[in-house]
Amino acid sequence: LAVCKRSCTKGPGPSVPITIDLTGKDKKQTVSAKQAKKIALEKRSGVIAAIPPNIDDITAILREQKPDAKEIAKLEKLADQKPPNTKSATKLSEFYHDRGIAAGDVGRSAQEPSDFKLAVKYAEASKNNKLKYFAYGRLSTAAAGAGLFNEGLKYREKTVQNSEHSSQKIRQTAILATTQAVLGDLPAAEKTMESVEALLSKGMPNKIWQRYGLDLSRSAKYAQATIFSAKGEHKKATTLYKSALSDYEKYLKVAGNEKSKAYGDEVSQILRRRLSRSLEYEGKLVEAELVVRAALLNRLKATGLYSTWAPRVILRFADHLAIQGRFDESKQLIDVAIDVMQKLGFPE
């Protein structure tokens, strides 16, 4: 995809030109080849020095983590709630939406999409686009998480259809492109990215771009990076994953919204996991380990070990260690991830 440019010409405030570079190309080198080589060697030396020779530091932190029986019981109670005695489609949709989230928090991979399907059913009955948007979005993510990728794709298309605002439509269309790329349908993914570019070119109120611009930029870059990765263009993918992560970290600093920051931890971990994989494909195993270590440590800081997201990052780290031939260390982390999932009540 070529450089995507757009200007905000609608809404209050002055027009602010926005450029999103989705080419995946490095910025032009402004130093000599000799200087560039020196900088690269110094950077690599710094990365190597930053990584411990083993995972003893990680396992020491993991050993300190203990399951919170009260918190787990609280989550299970939320997931076991009975539906309210009401005929209100709106209230029933909200109930199954919230219960579906709770089911996902305790690893109930069958109940989670089932509850979201009921949330969609009642949202459709209520004819409330906002409810339909969030219900279809959750259902799409849950279906993909359960390995039902084609269903997830279908529900993501519904999420796009029920997007009421330009920012929602851009974000959800980018997620759709990402899903298509992951499924290997590159022609569809590239066509969907053209839709993302077209949506950006239409613009939006300046105050909306000021609030959500960095997140929308992240969404577009992440989608295009995933397409590059699927095409085997890993250098371009790495460049865009890094840029997407940088945009999102900046967005969280200015979001001023605790809900956004809590959700942001999950998005950041996804970006780091993808980035680490892309670096591996480039053969940059040392830098990849630095990225996946940061992903795991940040996840533990944000939610602790006994959370649904922690095992995913641990298994990504275990996979990375196996690629390096560090099988004993990889198995240590796999055992930890299995133990966490069992304690959280994940099905076998």
The number of residues making up the chain comes to: 348
DSSP H/E element including 7: strand 4-8
147: tokens are: 């390995």
Rounded to two decimals, what is the model's pTM? Answer: 0.82
Q: Are strands 4-8 and 16-20 parallel, antiparallel or unpaired?
A: antiparallel
Residues near 2 by Cβ (< 8 Å), separated by ≥ 6? 22, 23
Alpha-carbon distance 308 to 302, whole Å? Answer: 12
Phi/psi of residue 16, nearest 5 degrees:
-120, 110
130: tokens are: 């906002």
Phi/psi of residue 106, nearest 5 degrees:
-110, 20
pLDDT in tens, the chain (348 residues): 334 444 444 444 444 556 788 998 876 555 555 555 554 444 444 444 456 667 888 888 888 877 778 888 888 899 999 999 999 999 999 999 999 998 888 778 788 899 999 999 999 999 999 999 999 999 998 888 777 888 999 999 999 999 988 889 999 999 999 999 999 999 999 999 999 988 888 877 778 788 888 899 999 999 999 999 999 999 999 999 999 999 998 888 875 655 555 566 778 888 999 999 999 999 999 899 999 998 888 888 777 888 777 888 999 999 999 999 999 999 999 999 998 888 877 766
Alpha-carbon distance 51 to 6, whole Å? Answer: 41
99: tokens are: 């219960």
